[in-house]
Amino acid sequence: MTLSLIADIGGTNARFALWDGHSPSSVLVLAPADFQQPADAVRAYLARVGKTVDALQSVCLACAGPVQGDHFQFTNNAWSMSRSAFCQELGLKELVLINDFAAQAMGMSRVEAHELLEIRPGVAQKSEPRLIIGPGTGLGVGTLLCLPDGRWKALPGEGGHVDLPVNTLQESRLWATMHARFGHVSAEHVLSGSGMLKLYQAFCEVEGWTPVFSDPSHITDAALDGDEQALSVVEQFCIWLGRVAGNNVLTLGARGGVYITGGIAPRIVELLRKSGFTRAFADKGQMSDYFDTIPVWLVTAKQPGLVGAGVALQQRLDEVNR
């Protein structure tokens, strides 16, 4: 029996699973730091689920970073790989290597209604682009298109590294503080786990607060407990998330809806709903009416990146077998 393997590889964790054409199974999480190269992790995964490398025929790896050419350098860990050498080493017939947020985007093609929490009501136009944005370790941005033949296409990009948009005097003060410290200030500088802490530190400098928190989770926990300073930071975080998401909607024409993924938003979902996110999302001057019917959801699906890697792999296998 031949095997198909899928993986969603981040900086700290690499999620591996088998793919049966419809869904992932035998999901295991391995630490990239425990292995010298991706092929070593694949072998370890197969051994742990009682499968042999000889049976492996096709693989899809979803990885952070721009994907092009034969060589790939992982963004958030020390791994690197040659596509051709990886295939030769494992005896593969098919390797699909995609950006991790392209996989997140493809995963939205299988998301169920019960795996979505409404943040902003609206009516999605199914034939129009869908925006996926996810603050977590970094800030991922992807686009999903439904093609006329029913297949799905993800448009990979590095939208998390766009300039942080500034629209108020307070934001300009916060931006100036971060610029003095880091130089270029991208959206990811704020809209990520480490970015939450950077934003708090900027607030401390601008507002004259004595720093108390040293970890992003401490900030969100304190905000949930009603701490005023932490609430101010989380509020600004949500506003910037809304503004960046809205900018991407205008650029992409994403009337198919917006999906928020990543590890941060689920922790603060009630604060997100009460925040200025929705106002900032649609506050685009003469183009504000453009947003009237565009919905926003928070994705609660457990493994959207793995599912998306599976969808991408299955589409490739279907193309080869036609």
Binding residues, by number, are 7-12
Instruction: Extract the annotated binding site for ATP.
Output: 7-12
CA distance 121 to 192: 25
H/E run at residue 130: strand 130-135
Single-letter amino acid code for the residue at 42: V
Q: Are strands 296-299 and 116-120 parallel, antiparallel or unpaired?
A: antiparallel
Half-sphere exposure for 88 (CA within 13 Å, toward CB): 6
C-alpha 215: how far from chain center: 21
Neighbour count for residue 216 (Cβ, 10 Å): 21
Edge to edge, the sheet with strand 116-120 lists 116-120, 296-299, 258-260, 130-135, 139-146, 152-155
H/E run at residue 13: none
